[in-house]
Amino acid sequence: MGKEEVIEGSIWVPEPGLRAFTVAVLRRLGVPAADAKVAADVLMAADLRGIGSHGVARLPRYVTGIKGGSIVPKGSSRTVKQTRATALVDGGNGLGQVVARRGMELAIRKARQTAVGFVAVRNSNHFGIAGYYSMMALKAGMIGLASTNAAPLVVPTFGRTAVLGTNPISVAVPTGGDEPFVLDMATSVVPRGTIEVYDRQAKEMPHGWAVDTTGHSTTKPRAVLEALAKRLGGGILPLGGEGEEFSGHKGYGLALLVDILCGALPGAATGLDVYADEDAANVGHFFGAIDVRAFRPLNAFKRDMDKLLRTLRDSPKAQGHDHIYVHGEKSFAMERERRAKGIPLGPKVVESLRKISGDTGVQWIA
């Protein structure tokens, strides 16, 4: 729920121009127009909502993947097996955003028929922010769920080597008000992208975010990132932090649950095997849609949701605070601001995008 810090020296880029640049780059690399628009939409959603670690800053990763052959530009995802309420999808090593959107659309279609729909995906890639997909269910009057496993970056409780991903979970719930409830969280203390932001800013991290090769807390982002890249040990801590004192074992359990649903269930890679093959990441996703109307009238549910969220916001505030936020609230506010003002891009992100511009021949916008 924290607000993204704007890096000193950032430039503010209008969202439509940044979106057009992203689409043009992907098109130049052979991605079909419709798929390029989907991928760009997910990246823009992250930047607009203040999750810059998963926004256009990730574009170089996809460019490299497509050029290297680990990401197939022309998606070939297919449904391998299905029932009335479930489906198993093979992503065909396509762009994660494209594969994931199709998976969530399938879950919603099934929920319209049977009240619930669950789709597990294998052979995909990094899909951006999980909240993009859970929120797709809102317009259908449904509760949406989305999660993905990821490269091994998180150490298990009492461990000193990263085995699990940051493995995010997102749940979106419709309300009668202007803003729904949207939980979108990593199961680690922070996502890798946040540590990368600190590294780009040459800042020390807070204690309790990550551990070094001995398994104990460190404040040096560069040391953690380099050790992770070379698999020398260390990594990010699970939600709750080091050991059991602040319930780090619970975050560890949540991360493992995601790997089970996204990896073991569809037959995608798990643990140390995610991204182990240079030619195929074999990332797995899990999507769910629950039709509220299968339980009670949607308007009645929304009324009770509004009452619950209002009760939280109106409850007594801690000393020095005047607002209690509901999950998603800050992100919606930031999205409104950035649609009007533009998206801030740090110097290193701009440098990487300018390089892509030079390599692909797509004109940079700033």
pTM of the model: 0.94
Mark whether 83 and 112 lie in a shared domain.
yes
Cβ-contact 119, 100 below 8 angstroms: no
pLDDT at 75 (0 to 100):
80
- Domain of 11: which CATH number? 1.10.1530.10
pLDDT exceeds 80 at position 69 = yes
pLDDT tens readout for residues 116-151: 999 999 999 999 999 999 999 999 999 999 999 999
pLDDT at position 5: 64
34 lies in the same domain as 102: no
Q: What is the pLDDT of residue 250?
A: 98
Asked if residue 248 belongs to a domain, the reply is yes
Q: Is 195 helix (H, G, I), strand (E, B) or coil?
A: helix
> pLDDT band for position 102 (50/70/90)?
very high
Residue 256 and residue 361 share a domain: no
202: which residues sit within 8 A by CB, 6+ positions away?
A: none
The Cα 79–Cα 91 span in angstroms is: 9
Mean pLDDT value of segment 288-315: 98
Residue 118 sits in the same domain as residue 23: no
SS3 for 247?
coil
- Partnered with residue 345 across adjacent β-strands are 11
The reply to whether 184 and 275 lie within a common domain is yes
pLDDT surpasses 70 at 3: no
CA distance 105 to 99: 10
Are residues 179 and 86 part of one domain?
yes
Domain count, the chain: 2
Q: How far apart are CA 286 and CA 140, in angstroms?
A: 19
Residues 172 and 300 in one domain: yes
Residue 4: predicted pLDDT: 64
Q: Quick one: 105 and 175 in the same domain?
A: yes
Answer yes or no: is pLDDT of 2 > 70.
Answer: no
Say if residue 185 is in the same domain as residue 255: yes
Q: Are residues 354 and 267 in the same domain?
A: no
Mean pLDDT over 91-100 rounds to 98
Residue 2 lies in a domain: no
| Same-domain status, 42 and 149 | no
CATH number at residue 141: 3.30.1370.60
8 Å CB contact between 129 and 42: yes
Sheet harboring 235-236: ordered strands across?
A: 217-218, 210-211, 235-236
Q: Is the pLDDT of residue 1 over 60?
A: no
pLDDT at 53: 86
Give 271's pLDDT tier (boundaries 50, 70, 90): very high
Domain that holds residue 268: 75-189+237-314
Indicate if 26 and 135 belong to the same structural domain: no
In a domain, 227, yes or no: no
